[in-house]
Chain A
Amino acid sequence: MDFFAFVKPKNELEGSAEKQQNKPFVPEEMWVKCPNCNTLLLTTDMEENLHVCTHCEHHFRMSAKQRIELLADADSFEEYDAELQSVNLLGFPGYDEKLEKAKKKANESVRCGVCTLESVRTVLCVMDADFMMGSMGTVTGEKITRAFEYATARRLPVIICTVSGGARMQEGILSLMQMAKTSGAVKRHSDAGLLYITVLTDPTTGGVTASFAMEGDIILAEPNSLVAFAGPRVIEQTMRQKLPKDFQTSEFVLQKGFIDAVVPRSALKSTLAKLLRMHGYEEVK
């Protein structure tokens, strides 16, 4: 690609699109437009601001890698089960191609490991929207279940950052069964007297909402995230009516009593650390 392409008017690059002529050309990598307030932000500014709009505080989606960097102390994240890979269990048409594409973007729908967070040791699972919209397949359920089993055996707390379009339909009933499996592992961890905190990020829906996302001792959410069981489109189709504007946002579910707090990203790590310490988990040297 021509490095100086961005200084040329857009119509010179992509032929004349008349209505676009008066708009400046914005190369994708350098600038990002905030979907909430439409402000153009320098990508580097946005990234330095924890992927939050410097103008309106809209929280951009983060990859699992970025979120691990946000929460885990530097170089402390020790990943487990990274070798587990989704396969086309049922021979579902088109799934192999989808998986191949997804694997180019992210390793899996969730990354799990152990880390320190402000020097407190914890199991951390971070879902990744870049992998088939964080949908829950067999491997997702298995990794989360193993993370809880590991934490239970070592008496560690668990933090999960959720982002998910719901169950992965290409894995059929086996995907549905992950809801029961992960819930069982959460319950065992809970019965052992251990702390589980969920951090709901945009969007958290379907089978993930109806299982481990809603099973935390403490449930936090990032501002203005979609938190739903049935997604807004499904409800609109059923009800044949438009939904209220702020329906199913984290602020909405907070008001309805289903989460404990909405926490901005800038305060997330310190809030989690505080909660861990208050439950008696100590700093490691």
Chain B
Amino acid sequence: MIVEDVLCPFCGCLCDDIKVEVEDDKIVGVKRACRLGSSKILGHERTKAPMVRVDGELVETTYEEAYDRTARILKGAKRPLLYGWCSTVCETHKKGILLAEEVGGVIDSTATVCHGPSIIGIEEKGLAGSTLGQIKNRADLIVFWGANPAEAHPRHTMRYSSNSSGMFTPEGRRGRKVIVVDVRETRTAKNADKFLLIRPGTDYEVISALRMIVADKGDLVPDYVAGVAKADLEEVAGIMKAAKFGALLFGLGMTHSRGRYKNVDNALSLVADLNGFTKFVVMAMRGHYNVAGFGQVSAWETGFPMSVDFSRGAPYFNPGETAACDLLARKEADAMMVVAADPASNFPRMTVEGMAEIPVIQIDPFPNPTTLLADVVIPSAVCGVEAEGTAYRMDGLSLRMKKVVDSPYPTDEEIIQNILDRVRRLGDDN
């Protein structure tokens, strides 16, 4: 049997045209997906059963015991951190936020180690964006800045950006200009009409220079800006202003480098400036398929998109203070629940050391380095393959993910609900 129009649970492209071949409730083939998506849909080694750490070793246990242990850890903690949420559906996010409220914890998403600075940039300036289809149908200029979709979002260019075609872009790639700005010549850069090589950590300076040139104040710009020749900057600014519809798509090159949210702030300002001359939109190339969804759910439930601290009973938001990395680096968190993420791999080593010292609960379909630090491990169904639910694409469009095959594992949503029930019961007993 072929299941049509399946959504891919990998990156922020959230491709929804995947064909999955199922035989005897097993996935035997995947069509149209990229290498990243196929590998996930086809499956990897799974955590087979719930585990708890006994005498330093993880030993298999029952779900009931794992839920009980988790509830006791969270209830007993003064500053529990509930982290992750990027590779699960919004229905899980809702339960997770409820659990964080219940235990007076901090809930944070992987955005804080990816596009968190983009969100802070948006708080400063707002974001002039669009859906991906608008870019597909109209954009005659695509600028990838610190983004490498060839490796991170393999179908982006074909479906939505440089190589896509639409109503006013019938010629596809031939009718478009593509500019890449990066610190190295990535595979994406090789497909560009113009590649601007900048030194690491100079995004802010380069954007500022472009803004000056766009505003016709180019005479104030020196001959070289962070190693880039003024003539190159003038060429790029000229292409931007001459476009009928430009799109600036930026990646972690902007948010992970010196300047972080200020880089984004400046890039958003550049796009706002360009709208004085032509139509221009900007978008963050979100990594995981539903990291954007957590921000949305958290915003409508708590008022804030990430790093929400419930220790006062009301939401308190102050990234830099209440973000996961900050809490761990300050050794403030005294318990951590990790859902659908792998902070042990993705946090700085010195931050991970903060994790190693506290009880860690992991809810995830797959073993990973976080498992090595976990005291309770609860395996779950893979969302988008074994469980349905909502996910938000990088442009903020929400779509419903399908369940393609059955799973012996409970869904993330069910797991969190079970933990929540037990936490409430513990509360009643006290």
Q: Do A and B come from one complex?
A: no
